[in-house]
Amino acid sequence: MIFALVLTGVGVLFCWLAVVGWQHRKEDSISLLEAGILKVTGVEPLPLTRFDRWFQRLQLLMMTLFGPPLVFLGGYGLLTELGVL
């Protein structure tokens, strides 16, 4: 049951991050961790490279592909454990 809950939670997280990522894929942004490090050091962030943009699209594609099946498998596991299926 716990495994099914974890699968469902990770799947929902992937789906949510994919939706937000596709909405903001054209924006140049940095992570909170990187922003904190740059603030402490006083350095300006470097511009995004072609590899950065390619890797961002790959992450979005992977979250889009793996999110819904994880939600489905987790939901199926939950329904099986509860005796509905």
> For the whole prediction, is pTM greater than 0.75?
yes
**Per-residue pLDDT, 73:** 96
Give the DSSP letter of residue 35. H
Domain boundaries defined on the chain: 2-81
Distance between CA atoms of residues 85 and 76, nearest Å: 8
**Per-residue pLDDT, 32:** 86
State the 10-residue block means of pLDDT for the chain, 85 residues long: 95 96 86 89 88 92 97 95 88
Distance between CA atoms of residues 48 and 26, nearest Å: 11
